[in-house]
Structure 1
Amino acid sequence: MQFTFEDFVLDQDRRELTLHGAVVAVGPQVFDLLLLFVSNPDRVVGKDELLEGVWSGRIVSESTITSHINAVRKAIGDTGEEQRLVRTVARKGYRFVGQVTLANNSQARQPSLDEREPVRQAPSPSLALPEKPSITVLPFQNLSGDPEQEYFADGVVEDIITALSRIRWLFVIARNSSFTFKGRAVDAQGVGQELGVRYVLEGSVRKSANKVRITGQLIDATSGTHIWAERFEGLLDNIFELQDQIAESVVGAIAPQLERAEIERAKRKPTESLDAYDHYLRGMAKLHSGTRDAIEEALPMFYTAIELDPEFASAYGMAAWCHFWRKINGWMIDRPAEITEGIRLARLAVSLGRDDAVALTRGGHALSHLAGEVDNGIALLDRARLLNPNLAPAWFLGGILRALHGESDAAIKDLNHAVRLSPLDPEMFRMQIGMALAHFFAGHFETAADWAEKSLGNLPSLLPPVAVVAASHALSGRMDKATLAMQRLHELDPSLRISNLKDWLPIQRADDLARFANGLRLAGLPE
């Protein structure tokens, strides 16, 4: 079926829009939106009908709808001011007011090229996607009506691009390329094709009095799927500090979403076609859950990634981290050999990954536990933060090390910052046990028990929070709860004793170790 209006032909079967016989480049959702309009000429199409017809009923933001309407208008030579063909009906929807002629494809006549006016360029060939995840950050829309806020919106985007660029596994389009789309109505899928990226981050800025609201949404440009959307608000008293905070929050929120999206993509690939990075991603998917079976499945994935790419620093770091996780939960079979192997992997991770924040984070944390090098581990994680200030694991694993080092206040601050960076993190249970340890060493036993219980609510098999629960209740005089926790601790690791406590958890201050040992002793842990 073909719809003709003015000098345009919209071919439903071929999913093609032409002007004087030349193809006009439009994305899939823009095409669907235009088709919905021309199929219902001179009738108001409301928001619900738009969502159902174009986005299959999925809820999307107002800015997304607006940008797609603008893209439709641009494709057919219309504007929001002129509204020659697509008219906005206030608080109701949109109405296509052009004269539409309907014909079957066999009867339809394409306008002759001899009748041409200046024609539109056919789309350029799509760029191939890079091997690693790729993203562009589009200039945010200024919805405040205040041109003075343009610099603020642009500054937020530039900060986000800079922060994303620090993530070594991510391919980020440079600012100069992404800003060529400023002021243009664009379709995320079209942008993805033009720039050769899988993901597009778009957003808007709205200022009201002394408040500013930033919205952002992450889109898979290959399918048009919305992966994530969030809103950030703040005061303009310190506009540049707010700009930094928003950039940090956006990057901290979308980095885990990007990783999850890539993990899901890797899962869908045939096993025989996997490369080093996909093995790494599959291992990460397992590692995030933290269970014994998951770690046993993750470790071979990281080893395979290393075999395929012997200089893959992050894979070494994650493999080392798996060995640490087996140690701290009492899962090691040949403890001396596994500790030696974990240390070997961790040293390779931090050596090969001097400028890799992920490798430094996991490798440094593993070294702290496996080799007892807590001071060195803290220094390595501090470097990771300098390389990528938005890497949540660098903050929460660094916070745990600072708690073990006796720096409870600094640990709590770091852990809170990690939660702010990644409030939906799949490894939230690690942040919670970090908070439990920090509060325990600070003498806040009830608070420590609460945090440890939260961690166990997310991962019941986790050994450290069970120990914190037992010690905290015992030192607070709640012996019935302490005894129950000790029974659970013995079930998880029958070999744990007061005498091997320092070897299990590298607590650095003698007073902290004595307090922990005393609490566990009162709860019933054998000497």
Structure 2
Amino acid sequence: MHIRLLGGIEVVSAGGQPLHFATRKTSLLFAALVLAGPKGLRRDRAAAMLWAGSGEQQARNSLRQALVDIRRLFPSTGDEAIRIEGNADTIWLAAPADEADIWIFDRGCQADDGASLAAAADLYRSELLDGQSSPGEIDDWLAPLRSNYTRKALDLVERLSLLPELGPREEEVCKALAERLVALDPCAEQAHRALIRIFRRRGKTNDAFRQFLACKEALKRELDVEPEEATRALVERIEATAELGEPAADRGPPQAELSLLEAKAARPAVSVPEKPSIAVLPFQNMSGDAEQEYFTDGVVEEITTALSHVNWLFVIARNSAFAYKGQAVEVTRVARELGVRYVLEGSVRRAGSRLRVAGQLVEAAAGVTLWADRFEGDVSEVFELQDLVASSVVGAISPRLEQAEMARAKRKPTESLDAYDHYLRGMASLYRWTREGLEEALPQFYKAVELDPDFAAAEGAAAWCYFWRMANRWMTDRQKETAEVSRLVGNVAISGQDDAVALAFGGLALGYVVGDYEAASALADRALVLNPNCATAWSASGYLKSCYDDPDIAIEHLSRARRLSPLDPLTFFMQTCTAFAHFVAGRYDVAWPLAEAASRTQPYYLTGLRVAAASNAMAGRLDAASKHIARSLALDPELTLANLTHVAGHIRPAYFVKYFEALRLAGLPE
């Protein structure tokens, strides 16, 4: 290994001599090429990232000179194993798989044995490119990568500490990594838990308790929160052991550390954004009528959407907030897990034609209610009530908000409550993600449009249904349904110019079913302009770019969608799209775990199974690939390479060829 990026840039020659780059930007360019891997880096992107302040021609000249400096550096040492290659558009680093620490680290993190995991842990000296300041453009690209490797290190140290059998060396390596991670972030609970477990293994109960207290104090000081339930449960088990008078060392290592309690609380704390951030929890349905549950959910969704239109406000997506539906949860826990400062909760009571909406806004860290109120009116005035609640919440967060900004937060999808009823019922069916659910959803959306011909949200949702019908080969008349998608999305483009979700749904369907990438991207872009907090819009943009454009940009957009909606029930779709982006970029070892995770979450999603099969095949995991093909054929016996285009959609030809050959290698019949 001659290249180190974990903990700063270090490059040595074959003879062990350190190599020094001519300039800081040259070293950053080399690091960017290492991070890009075999897929390489576009020349124009590299120039824009590193020399953004220069003119276009000057940036190109600077890039050319930096590449000359790098190429001179390696031949001068006689080390020909590492070299820069490229064409008119792209440059890449050609090097053996064991030349860079991050490449070895990534492979080690996928292992299951203690020796391999410990070897990977040894490589994580500090954060990726630690101590390297970088220009704004490259930092925007580097920040998510740095965060990703930190997350991998935290997962790695916890996995090591949980192994039933851990040798002395592996245990020491685990302890050292945990200490490094705590030094970098005193609030890193996974690292604290690893240290607590190690002290427990060694019989040092007092040291384990001291580590817990250090963790608790750091969380209180830095975030004003309590330790996660998983951390508390771990310490409670050690306390119980101590009370029984059984030394932890005599009991041996924990065989089932991840109890049900820990697994349930395994959601990591998410950092709170600098700007005001809020999650709108599911309201309680006080009507006593289960049939009205959809209406209560719709009230919450509309409040969430109204708040999301305010550009300065970070709003957690409806789908993530609804992960807490039916649960009695503490506001502080919700805020920690979703990474928000404020939580809105409330209730909706509907009796006949009268509607009462009650809500309260809580500042989670302080446990203080900032605002509470209730609103009553006729059911026909539901939209005015929703806007009034949203307006009051925004006013409580920022009294300086001007009325003009509140006007942009208002959105009334229809003036017809009956049409809206049908739309909400359709969405409830669609979210089941089954064939039967889609068959129930479509008539509801069409009824909503019949009652209100300008109801863009209903038409966008109908087009989204056809997306899923095609993805799972449930279409009965492909030509007719494709034409219907074109018609629906055309209407959305006209009547839904101010509806981000409708435009996002329309863009997804237009790109996948019809194959009009440019028009689909324009709809997704418009959705992002309308509502930069819309997870659905970022997801749509990411999907389109993964199939037609730059996979790295796709991954960035899909990552943004996940951040806005970390508990989204559509996470499996985002994971599949991210996996496909890594697949087309040639990062098969990154792609297959994501695709398999998506398939575990939604085992009937055929696209996820196919991407898992293709990624495993290209990663050399043919047994795993074969299993995914077998599962796909069990669900869709008529699927073959010959009809693959019917489900793959209109993706870039080069991507399709790669996908086709990978599935052939996986064993999909001709």
Give TM-score scaled by structure 2 length: 0.41
Q: Within 5 A, what are the aligned runs for 1:45-56?
A: none
Confirm whether residue 411 of structure 1 aligns to residue 554 of structure 2: yes
Amino acid at match of 1:437: F
Please tell me whether the aligned partners of residues 395 and 414 of structure 1 are also in contact (alpha carbons under 8 angstroms).
yes
Confirm whether residue 397 of structure 1 aligns to residue 556 of structure 2: no
Structure 1 residues 188, 481: CA separation in 2 closer, same or farther (over 3 Å shift)? Answer: closer
Structure 1 residues 220, 429: CA separation in 2 closer, same or farther (over 3 Å shift)? Answer: farther
By how many angstroms is 1:310 displaced?
1.3
By how many angstroms is 1:214 displaced?
9.9
By how many angstroms is 1:349 displaced?
1.7
Amino acid at match of 1:522: L
**CA distance, structure 1, for counterparts of residue 367 and residue 299 of structure 2:** 25
**CA distance, structure 2, for counterparts of residue 135 and residue 464 of structure 1:** 28
Q: Within 5 A, what are the aligned runs for 1:359-508?
A: 359-506=502-649, 508=651
By how many angstroms is 1:492 displaced?
2.4
**Which structure carries more relative contact order (alpha carbon 8 Å, separation 6+)?**
1
Structure 1 residues 199, 415: CA separation in 2 closer, same or farther (over 3 Å shift)? Answer: farther
Confirm whether residue 329 of structure 1 aligns to residue 472 of structure 2: yes
**CA distance, structure 1, for counterparts of residue 371 and residue 596 of structure 2:** 34
By how many angstroms is 1:336 displaced?
1.8
By how many angstroms is 1:393 displaced?
0.6
By how many angstroms is 1:312 displaced?
0.4
**CA distance, structure 2, for counterparts of residue 401 and residue 157 of structure 1:** 23
Instruction: Please give the secondary structure, in 2, of the residue aligned with 1:414.
Output: helix
Instruction: Please give the secondary structure, in 2, of the residue aligned with 1:338.
Output: helix
Equivalent in the alignment of 1:525 = 668
Provide structure 2 residue ranges, at least 5 long, that are not aligned to the other structure: 1-224, 227-294, 319-344, 348-354, 377-396, 402-408, 410-415
Amino acid at match of 1:491: A
Please tell me whether the aligned partners of residues 508 and 543 of structure 2 are also in contact (alpha carbons under 8 angstroms).
no
Equivalent in the alignment of 2:450 = 307
**CA distance, structure 1, for counterparts of residue 446 and residue 643 of structure 2:** 30
**CA distance, structure 1, for counterparts of residue 550 and residue 428 of structure 2:** 31
Show CA shifts across 1:265-316 (max 9, x none): xxxxxxxx97111211121122222111111111111111111111101101
**CA distance, structure 2, for counterparts of residue 454 and residue 444 of structure 1:** 16
Structure 1 residues 281, 523: CA separation in 2 closer, same or farther (over 3 Å shift)? Answer: same
Equivalent in the alignment of 1:295 = 438
Structure 1 residues 198, 389: CA separation in 2 closer, same or farther (over 3 Å shift)? Answer: farther
Please tell me whether the aligned partners of residues 350 and 364 of structure 1 are also in contact (alpha carbons under 8 angstroms).
no
Structure 1 residues 135, 469: CA separation in 2 closer, same or farther (over 3 Å shift)? Answer: closer
By how many angstroms is 1:219 displaced?
7.7
Equivalent in the alignment of 1:319 = 462
**CA distance, structure 1, for counterparts of residue 614 and residue 522 of structure 2:** 30
Please tell me whether the aligned partners of residues 427 and 441 of structure 2 are also in contact (alpha carbons under 8 angstroms).
yes
Equivalent in the alignment of 1:23 = none
Equivalent in the alignment of 1:148 = none
Show CA shifts across 1:143-175 (max 9, x none): xxxxxxxxxxxxx999578778xx9xxxxxxxx
Show CA shifts across 1:363-392 (max 9, x none): 111111121012221121011011011111
Higher helix share goes to which structure?
2
Instruction: Please give the secondary structure, in 2, of the residue aligned with 1:203.
Output: strand
Please tell me whether the aligned partners of residues 135 and 198 of structure 1 are also in contact (alpha carbons under 8 angstroms).
no
Confirm whether residue 203 of structure 1 aligns to residue 362 of structure 2: yes
Please tell me whether the aligned partners of residues 507 and 540 of structure 2 are also in contact (alpha carbons under 8 angstroms).
no
**CA distance, structure 2, for counterparts of residue 386 and residue 378 of structure 1:** 12
Instruction: Please give the secondary structure, in 2, of the residue aligned with 1:198.
Output: strand
Structure 1 residues 219, 366: CA separation in 2 closer, same or farther (over 3 Å shift)? Answer: farther
Show CA shifts across 1:66-97 (max 9, x none): xxxxxxxxxxxxxxxxxxxxxxxxxxxxxxxx
Instruction: Please give the secondary structure, in 1, of the residue aligned with 2:431.
Output: helix
**CA distance, structure 2, for counterparts of residue 216 and residue 416 of structure 1:** 32
Of 458-467 and 274-283, more deviation after overlay is shown by 274-283
Instruction: Please give the secondary structure, in 1, of the residue aligned with 2:361.
Output: strand
Please tell me whether the aligned partners of residues 289 and 427 of structure 1 are also in contact (alpha carbons under 8 angstroms).
no
Amino acid at match of 1:345: L
Instruction: Please give the secondary structure, in 2, of the residue aligned with 1:526.
Output: coil
By how many angstroms is 1:200 displaced?
3.8
**CA distance, structure 1, for counterparts of residue 368 and residue 554 of structure 2:** 31
**CA distance, structure 2, for counterparts of residue 199 and residue 323 of structure 1:** 37
**CA distance, structure 2, for counterparts of residue 161 and residue 199 of structure 1:** 25
**CA distance, structure 2, for counterparts of residue 354 and residue 513 of structure 1:** 32
Instruction: Please give the secondary structure, in 2, of the residue aligned with 1:289.
Output: coil
Structure 1 residues 483, 347: CA separation in 2 closer, same or farther (over 3 Å shift)? Answer: same
**CA distance, structure 2, for counterparts of residue 335 and residue 134 of structure 1:** 36
Please tell me whether the aligned partners of residues 360 and 369 of structure 2 are also in contact (alpha carbons under 8 angstroms).
yes
Amino acid at match of 2:595: A
Please tell me whether the aligned partners of residues 430 and 438 of structure 2 are also in contact (alpha carbons under 8 angstroms).
yes
Structure 1 residues 201, 372: CA separation in 2 closer, same or farther (over 3 Å shift)? Answer: farther
**CA distance, structure 2, for counterparts of residue 454 and residue 339 of structure 1:** 30
**CA distance, structure 1, for counterparts of residue 440 and residue 547 of structure 2:** 29
Choose which of 417, 423, 437 in structure 2 pairs with 1:280. 423
Amino acid at match of 2:616: H
**CA distance, structure 1, for counterparts of residue 417 and residue 592 of structure 2:** 43
**CA distance, structure 2, for counterparts of residue 345 and residue 485 of structure 1:** 34
Show CA shifts across 1:86-118 (max 9, x none): xxxxxxxxxxxxxxxxxxxxxxxxxxxxxxxxx
- Say what the alpha-carbon RMSD is for the aligned residues: 4.2
Structure 1 residues 286, 480: CA separation in 2 closer, same or farther (over 3 Å shift)? Answer: same
Structure 1 residues 283, 339: CA separation in 2 closer, same or farther (over 3 Å shift)? Answer: same
Please tell me whether the aligned partners of residues 374 and 506 of structure 1 are also in contact (alpha carbons under 8 angstroms).
no
Larger Rg: 1
Give TM-score scaled by structure 1 length: 0.51
Number of aligned residue pairs: give it.
307
Q: Within 5 A, what are the aligned runs for 1:108-187?
A: 133=299
**CA distance, structure 2, for counterparts of residue 484 and residue 463 of structure 1:** 13
Amino acid at match of 2:586: G
**CA distance, structure 1, for counterparts of residue 519 and residue 418 of structure 2:** 33
Please tell me whether the aligned partners of residues 309 and 530 of structure 2 are also in contact (alpha carbons under 8 angstroms).
no
Amino acid at match of 1:464: T
Structure 1 residues 477, 277: CA separation in 2 closer, same or farther (over 3 Å shift)? Answer: same
By how many angstroms is 1:360 displaced?
0.8
Structure 1 residues 308, 474: CA separation in 2 closer, same or farther (over 3 Å shift)? Answer: same
Higher strand share goes to which structure?
1
Amino acid at match of 1:308: L
Instruction: Please give the secondary structure, in 2, of the residue aligned with 1:319.
Output: helix
**CA distance, structure 2, for counterparts of residue 483 and residue 336 of structure 1:** 32
**CA distance, structure 2, for counterparts of residue 158 and residue 503 of structure 1:** 37
Amino acid at match of 1:202: L
